[in-house]
Structures are given as C-alpha cells and as structure tokens.
Chain A
C-alpha cells in the first residue's frame, strides 16, 4: 500500500496517466498529512532532483501556503518563486500589474536566459495557436465532407437570393434592327441547344436506370428457413428474430413495398446491426421512389467491408444516383464496378459507361 502510494504520487508529480480516484487519493493525502509530504519531498530530493520536480512541490506548497501563511507567500513573491509559466502567460497577455510586474521586468533586464525563455514561450503560444486552429479546421473539414456526402451543400437553397432577382443595371444601348435579329437568332439557338442537351442528359441517365433496374431477387429467405429448421427448442430469441425477418421478406416478395418498408423499419429498430435486412429495406425504398433515403442506406452498405451484398449495394447505389441525376457520383461508382471482375454487374456497368 505504502509503495503503491509512492508510485502513484510519483506519477502524479510527473503528470502521467492516472484515474480520477488515484488523483483524489494523492490530493487528499497532500492536504491532510503535511508531514507525509515533507518525507516525500526529502525522498524525492535524494532520488532525482530536477528543476521540474519543483512544480509538484510548488503546487502543494502554494495551496498549503495560501491556506496557512500568507506572509510567507508574500516573501516568496519577492524572491520570484512564483515566476513560472503562469506568470509568463499573465505577463504576455498584459494581466500582470503592480509589484509582480515590477519583479518580472527587473528579472527580464538582468537575466538574459530568463528573457530568452520568455521569448521562446511567445513562440510556443504562436505554435499552439497554429496547431489548435489547424486541428479545429481539420475537424470542420471532416464534418463538412460528411455534410457534402449528404448533399447538404448541393441542395437547392430554398431561400431566394436577391442577386438572382435584382434587376440588371439599366443600360441604354442602341441596336440596329439587324443586330437585334442576329442576337435573337443566336439566343434562340443557344436556348434550344441547352434545352436539348439538358433533356437528352436527363433522359439518358433516367433511361439507364429504367433499363438496368430490377428489384433484386430474394436470396435471403432460403437461408432463413434453413436456419429456422435447424433450431431446436432453445434459442428462442434468435428464432423470433428470424421469423420476423422472414415475414419482412414475404412482404418484399409480394411486392408490397410500403408494408415491407415499415416492417423492415420495425425489425431494424430491434436489430440495427442486421445489414442484410438493411439492404432489402433500401431496395424497398427504391421501389417507393424514396431515393434520398435509399442512397443514405446503400452508401453505408457500399462502404462496409466484408458485407455479403457489398457489390450489390454499390451497383444499386450507382443506379439510384443515375435516377437522382447525380451523374458524377454514379459514374465514379460505375467505373469501379466496370473494372471489378468479380462483380456480377461488370458488363452492365460497362454498357452504361460506353453509351
């Protein structure tokens, strides 16, 4: 016990990892048994007396001294005992005043190494600021890209921007009639070309969806029934789970996607880790034309290493992206699938990409 305490105290003084209980143990000892402290202090001085160790002693000394003898505290101020990092911080932020500021300034003048220390401390503060801002920005970037994935930034803002609606600056320009005609023709051409392009574009991606999408076949039920039949009378909860999943799949197979979806939802609330159920739910969502929800789910499945239907999830995600006219994202995925020999959708992807 004794040795153990010494060890903890040592860790405490050196700022190593401790549990809250251990910290409190040390501190209660420090405040209730000042004699024990004296012993520790002398022990420490024979073991390893480095200037650093003084901070631990400094800490209990300050708390004790503050409690007991305020005159000694004054004395220590005079001797510059309290000039440490904290005082340097206070000095740099302009919080020092009166007597302390005087002591500080005096020491700065006559003690060159102290002046250097203060300068280094200023550098440290700047470095710390850079580090802190960088780590905040890293975290923000991460949140931002997460939101990017959720299309937070691409969603059409429903707020009207005044630059869009404000009337253009009035200009007085005189056109010749022929010029006006020529302009009009060009504008008409551009508009119709644009329209054609847009129309073409949007129909093709939707067409791809239509021609390649089919609801994924049920490959689960067989397994479920298999597993169910292999159960004895025990393991009731597992059995219940499979039964419930089976009833979800029955609805899915009946193409009652609305009912299937809510059944899956109920099921997934109980068993949120069942990825296979999640996969079939997202297929139901596609059928219900809830594309954004489907994307959210499929994305997770597509990113899950080792998931049984990972390749399927990627393929369906690509298709939904097409349907949702997120062609860029769709193409990225299609390229991955097209170069994946093991994917059952390799050829289909190549077909879409080549069009």
Chain B
C-alpha cells in the first residue's frame, strides 16, 4: 500500500467532489496520527474510526465554504477536527470533570472553533423518508442537490466540477429539487 501522491489543491477538489481517492488519501496520511491521539486519551481504534468519519464530513463542509482558505495542510486540519470531536466526546462522558489532554509534540494542529462542528440533529421519520426518496433519484440530481444544498457550493463551482454551465446547473437544480419536493409533499 503506497501513499498516493496528490497535491493539496488536487486533494481539495477531489474531496469536494467526494471521491474515494480523496478519502483513501486522508486515511493513509492522517488516520494513524488520529488513532495515536485517541489511544493516548482513553480511546480505542474503533473510536478513532468513528471520529475519523465524522471529521471527514466536517472537513467537507468546511472546505466547501466560499471563505475557506487553504493555509494549513488538509491532514493537519482534519487531525484538528478529530481532536476537537474527541475532546467534546470525552467532556460529555466525564460530565463536568476536567479533561486532561495528552498531546504529543509531533502533532501539529490548528485551532478550530467549536461551532464549526455541528451537533447531530435527531433524525425524524419524515426526514428519513426524504433521504430515501433522494436515494431513488438520478445520480446527477443526487450530486447537484448534495453539492448545492448540503455542501452549499456556489453554482459556478458545481458547474466546473460537473462540466456544465452555471445556467444549466441552476435549471437542473431547480428541476431536481422540485421533483423531490413533489414526491415528498404530504398531500
């Protein structure tokens, strides 16, 4: 298993698209550090796997924001998000007691605001139903909807990623969301 060689910019683009290639790269470059950190702080490998997945989701949302600037390596950002998530978990486990963190010198991390990581909402049936309907839609619809409504990428960027024009993305998006709206309205 060799570490793939892709540049940070390339990784950024792949990650916005959500390709397996980018995920694999993140595992290869960052997972060990995260596992190490979590093991040092009362956790197991399984915890590390869970935290890692949640952190990648957080990372995808973070890098999709228009104001995002790449001024640290993505692996460093990812590690920092993992660290935050794990500390949050530890705190809620210990309920008020202070948590001592063991950081190793070899890890660098960037400070990430707590509210960057969103709390998970309780899943209601109707929302689950909407997600299922979306799952039945065409691949293109799933992609544009995810890129626009979830990652909140601007039309222009979605157009570049998918090889369309901005106007077409806009129309397509409208069609897809209308279809979803119709199939899920409770009339």
Contact between chains at B24 and A147 (CB < 8 Å): yes
Among B1, B130, B142, contact of A127 (Cβ-Cβ < 8 Å): B130
Contact between chains at B32 and A159 (CB < 8 Å): yes
Q: Which residues of B contact A30 (CB under 8 A)?
A: 167
The segment out of A12-20, A176-184, A309-317, A339-347 that lies at the interface is: A12-20
Q: Which residues of B contact A152 (CB under 8 A)?
A: 1, 27-28, 31
Q: Which residues of B contact A143 (CB under 8 A)?
A: 20, 23-24, 27
Q: Which residues of B contact A12 (CB under 8 A)?
A: 168, 171
Q: Which residues of B contact A153 (CB under 8 A)?
A: 45, 49
The segment out of B4-12, B53-61, B81-89, B108-116 that lies at the interface is: B53-61
Ordered by A's residue number, 27 sampled pairs between the chains whose C-beta atoms are within 8 Å are A13-B171, A20-B163, A20-B164, A20-B165, A23-B165, A23-B167, A27-B165, A27-B167, A59-B167, A59-B171, A123-B126, A123-B127, A123-B130, A124-B149, A125-B149, A126-B124, A128-B146, A131-B131, A131-B134, A132-B151, A135-B142, A139-B18, A143-B27, A152-B1, A157-B32, A161-B39, A162-B102
A192 adjacent to chain B (CB < 8 Å): no
Contact between chains at A144 and B134 (CB < 8 Å): no
The segment out of B70-78, B91-99, B179-187 that lies at the interface is: B179-187
**Contact flag A128-B174 (CB < 8 Å), given A23-B168, A63-B167:** no
A288 adjacent to chain B (CB < 8 Å): no
Cβ-closest chain A residue relative to B123:
A130
A127 CA / B129 CA spacing, docked (Å): 7
Q: Which residues of A contact B36 (CB under 8 A)?
A: 157, 159, 161
Contact between chains at A124 and B175 (CB < 8 Å): no
Among B1, B31, B131, contact of A128 (Cβ-Cβ < 8 Å): B131
Per the 8 Å Cβ criterion, residues 8-44 of B in contact with A are: 18, 20, 23-24, 27-28, 31-32, 35-36, 39-40, 42
Q: Mark B104-146, 1 if CB is under 8 A from A, else 0.
A: 1000000000000000010110111111011100001010011
Q: Which residues of A contact B18 (CB under 8 A)?
A: 135-136, 139
A24 adjacent to chain B (CB < 8 Å): yes
Contact between chains at B1 and A89 (CB < 8 Å): no
A133 CA / B150 CA spacing, docked (Å): 9
A351 adjacent to chain B (CB < 8 Å): no
Contact between chains at B145 and A18 (CB < 8 Å): no
A157 CA / B39 CA spacing, docked (Å): 11
Shortest distance between the CB of B63 and any CB in chain A (Å): 13
Cβ-closest chain A residue relative to B133:
A127
Contact between chains at B39 and A163 (CB < 8 Å): yes
Q: Which residues of B contact A137 (CB under 8 A)?
A: 53, 57
Q: Which residues of B contact A13 (CB under 8 A)?
A: 171
A142 adjacent to chain B (CB < 8 Å): yes
Q: Which residues of B contact A56 (CB under 8 A)?
A: 171
A150 CA / B130 CA spacing, docked (Å): 36
A255 adjacent to chain B (CB < 8 Å): no
Contact between chains at A157 and B145 (CB < 8 Å): no
Contact between chains at B128 and A130 (CB < 8 Å): yes
Shortest distance between the CB of B30 and any CB in chain A (Å): 12
**Contact flag A124-B130 (CB < 8 Å), given A12-B171, A136-B18:** yes
Shortest distance between the CB of A147 and any CB in chain B (Å): 6
A18 CA / B128 CA spacing, docked (Å): 31
Contact between chains at B164 and A150 (CB < 8 Å): no
**Contact flag A136-B56 (CB < 8 Å), given A161-B40, A163-B39:** yes
A214 CA / B94 CA spacing, docked (Å): 57
Contact between chains at B165 and A120 (CB < 8 Å): no
Among B1, B23, B128, B170, contact of A59 (Cβ-Cβ < 8 Å): B170
Contact between chains at B131 and A127 (CB < 8 Å): yes
Shortest distance between the CB of B183 and any CB in chain A (Å): 11
Among B128, B164, B175, contact of A14 (Cβ-Cβ < 8 Å): B175
A134 adjacent to chain B (CB < 8 Å): yes
Contact between chains at B130 and A128 (CB < 8 Å): yes
Contact between chains at A147 and B27 (CB < 8 Å): yes
Cβ-closest chain B residue relative to A17:
B140
**Contact flag A23-B127 (CB < 8 Å), given A89-B149, A162-B40:** no
B62 adjacent to chain A (CB < 8 Å): no
B176 adjacent to chain A (CB < 8 Å): yes
